[in-house]
Amino acid sequence: MKSNLLARFATVALLCSSAALAQDQVAMKLDLVAWGPTIEGLSVKAGGKGEKVTAQAFTYSKPVAYSGSAVMEIHQDPAEAAKATEGSQNAAAIPAELSKLREKDPTIVAIAKLPPGSRRATVLIAPAQSGTYQTFVIDDDPSKLPYGQLRIHNYSPIKIAMRCNGKAQKEMKTKETFLVTPENTKVIYELAYDSQGQWEMQENNMITVPKDEQVQLIILKSDADFFTSSDGSRSGFLQTVTLRRPAKEETPVTP
């Protein structure tokens, strides 16, 4: 009887372990987007042996098919990473998990914690310290970002306020987000930011949101050359980025 109970406990433990392992695995398409200058020579395969990927500055480029651990390792030649992050003003601490991985494999320059069960995600990659990058993961599964809607993100370090299509003003703290339903495929928005307790108007603009596209508006504060015009001027105190992904890009990814 005792041996039978032990066998049952062992079976249950094995099933639980297998279920946990399955939950830690993902299969999806990813878009790597550089928060700053374009980053070349990235890979999401161990040792950097996979297909090399370029993260374009604040722009979608070629998506990456990924299947594996939900804690994805991003690889790059250490010398290239050191050069790309030299002079970075990003003071974010290197995660302990990343530091531990780099002790064994210095080509691991960043990790990204991907959303389980999602089919699509955007990974923003910002230069950080000592040849590493900070990542921000956005879950773009159609259940979270439906086609034909606009998602607004506040990645600036201050509180902002958005008024869309004349509706009530929406105040957003750093890293907050919300969905907007367009009117006749258009979103007319007003953007203001908190300046010492007073709202300062940044801009009044319009975004077209086709019914067959996922569209995201990201508000941030950046001194990247991407936002500087040929005469050296900048558009405003805050910067905006619009990312668009057509529905025709969405194809299944098998592990």
Question: Residue 21: what are its φ and ψ, rounded to 5°?
Answer: -65, -40
Task: Give the pLDDT confidence of 51-72 residue by residue, as tens digits.
Answer: 899 999 999 988 999 999 999 9
Q: Which two tokens stand for residue 118?
A: 């999602």
pLDDT in tens, 25-60: 999 999 999 999 999 999 997 656 678 999 999 999
How many residues does the structure list for the chain? 255
Q: How far apart are CA 174 and CA 220, in angstroms?
A: 9
Residue 148 CB-density burial (10 A; 0-12 exposed, 13-18 middle, 19+ buried): middle
The pTM of the full predicted model, rounded to 2 decimals, is 0.84
pLDDT in tens, 69-102: 999 999 999 999 999 999 888 888 899 999 999 9
User: What's the pLDDT score for residue 225?
Assistant: 81
Distance, CA of 34 to CA of 59 (rounded, Å): 8
